[in-house]
Amino acid sequence: MAGNDPRVDSSFATGTRLFVNILALANAVAFACVLWQWRGLIGPSGILPAGEFFAAVREQVGLRGLIEVPSLCWVFGANYFIVVLCVAGLAASALLFMRVAPAVCLVVLWACYLSLISAGQIFFDLQWDGLLLECTVLAIFLVPWTFKRASGSYEPPRLSRYLVWWLLFRLMFLSGVVKLASGDPAWRNLTALSFHYLTQPLPSPLAWYAGKLPMWVQQLSCVFMFATEILVPFLIPCGRRLRHWAAGALILLQVLIALTGNYGFFNLLTIGICLNCLDDAWWQRMRWGVETATASEGPKAARFKPTLVRWFAALAVGVTLFQTVAALYPVAAGSPIVRAMEESIGPFRTFNNYRLFAVMTIERPELVIQGSDDGRDWRDYELPYKPGNLARRPRWVAPYQPQLDWQLWFAALGRPDDNLWVGRVCEKLMGGDPAVLGLFSRNPFPDHPPKYTRVVRFRYEFTSQAERAATGNWWRSTPIDFYISPVALSADNK
């Protein structure tokens, strides 16, 4: 049997190849999302123009901006060069999927996406953007270093594979520990999931039903989540059978998260990382038609510079160990070593801390942007995926990441003074800017822009089963306050 052959049991060529293929898909999705939205978000007439941002950084910090905001846009500009970066990223993703010059493709993907994240400011800097960059860099040391098309099955260096396992451990373990370390009572009394399905940024259609589950189910689900995030990662280095069970549990958690919420390419990418834990013997037993090494012909070892791999591994482990200690012990985060490391390496977003939903939001405030011609009759602008129309069912959108819908969720939780960009959205709507209007699914003023705009903060809740049966609505809403009081377009902005 294949499982009795030590060459096959210790070979991870198939899992690595599948991880790289999923990484190529995740990169393609990420670049496509930027390409689809960049005009309205960071284009020359967008909400936060990238060109103005780089000019402001240059004026404030000078050459230090090359390190603090690393991007190829410093050299080639920050307007339509964004399109060049996106097209280059999509081409490199396709070539990586076809296994053509994989290491070169990964370097191109990392440089292009880092450039876009830096240019994107708040819109393209979520935790899974950093995860994508970290996976892309680690994968450079998993694939063959050749300019030709890689054929056959390649076995990655063991040290490189361990770095991927270490990333998976940190991603899961830290995401679980920070929930308890935050002191949030909703996590500690296991009631957080009873709020989560409602208050997460973009619920899926199944979230409405999940929110109706009994409290004991919500608490049991919370126990499963903590066990999977905190305890299961310790099984990864504990032998192949336990490692396989760990991979299965972590993949199951990602599937459940994806069923009830929209988190871009995060779940897809995390599942890809988990596949690195499954050796070739496991894939052969599954008989899924995946190309694997056989007992008579083991996978070819990829050609690497061992010294370079060791130096990179030392850097990666050293930096991430400091980050992990700082995450677990906040006092350590203020040490000079950690601060210096964050200032020098942090802007490159290649080695990251992960702290997903450390504090659970228990209410759902929503910002509704409204326009008016006379200051009395107000009409709503609709975004395609965030809650708005009470009768509109939550939508499936992942792996696509609608950045404006997402960032308005963050803005609703904060103060207007901390989110001045929301006022820029209002200005663009009153100016009738087509790039920004393209981010909306409904423009209530198709013939002319409104004279006034305002932003009202509502409290949104899921309807009960009885309310849904009677009204057909998925949501009910209650006004809270004016996030931005009614304003008219000034002469300077016309």
Q: Tens of pLDDT along 76-98?
A: 999 899 999 999 999 999 999 99
Look at residues 82, 68, 151 and name the one whose alpha carbon lies nearest to residue 119.
82
Decide if 435 is inside a domain: yes
Residues of the chain with pLDDT under 70: 1-9, 150-152, 287-305, 333, 490-494
pLDDT of residue 293: 42
| Measured distance CA(24)–CA(26) in Å, rounded | 6
3-state secondary structure of 156: coil
| Contacts by residues 292-296 (CB-CB < 8 Å, ≥ 24 positions apart) | 292/8, 292/11, 292/13, 292/14, 292/153, 293/7, 293/8, 293/11, 293/13, 293/14, 293/153, 293/155, 294/2, 294/8, 295/2, 295/5, 295/7, 295/8
Claim to verify: residue 121 and residue 176 sit in the same structural domain: yes
356 located within any domain: no
Looking at 320, 348, 376, the residue that finishes a domain is: 348
154 and 285 share a domain? yes
Distance between CA 113 and CA 90 in Å, rounded?
11
275 and 384 share one domain: no
* Ramachandran class of 303: left when φ > 0, alpha when ψ lies in -120 to 50, beta otherwise: beta
Domain count along the chain: 2
If asked whether residues 72 and 178 sit together in one domain, one would say yes
User: Do 373 and 312 belong to one domain?
Assistant: no
pLDDT of residue 294: 40
Is residue 359 in a domain? no
The values of phi and psi at residue 352, to 5°, are: -130, 160
Residue 119 lies in a domain: yes
Tokens representing 460 are 């949104």
212 in a structural domain: yes
Residues 437, 336 share a domain = no
Q: Tell me whether residue 292 is in a domain.
A: yes
Does any domain span residue 49?
A: yes
Among the candidates 348, 375, 403, a domain finishes at 348
**Span 285-315, pLDDT tens digits:** 886 545 544 433 445 555 556 777 888 888 8
Looking at the structure, tell me whether residues 301 and 419 fall in a common domain. Answer: no
Are residues 194 and 289 part of one domain? yes
Same domain as 374, residue 278? no
Residues 122 and 216 in one domain: yes
For residues 312 and 392, membership in a common domain is answered with no
Tokens read off for 257? 């998260």
Instruction: Identify whether residues 153 and 279 lie together within a single domain.
Output: yes
Full residue range of the structural domain in which residue 475 is found: 364-493
Given this model, what pLDDT does residue 412 score? 97
Write down which residue in 319, 348, 377 finishes a domain: 348
Residue 17 in any domain: the answer is yes
pLDDT at position 324: 82
Residue 223's Cβ-side half-sphere holds a number of Cα atoms within 13 Å equal to 6
Burial of 259 (0-12, 13-18, 19+ CB in 10 A): middle
> What's the pLDDT at 4?
45
Residue 423 confidence (pLDDT):
95
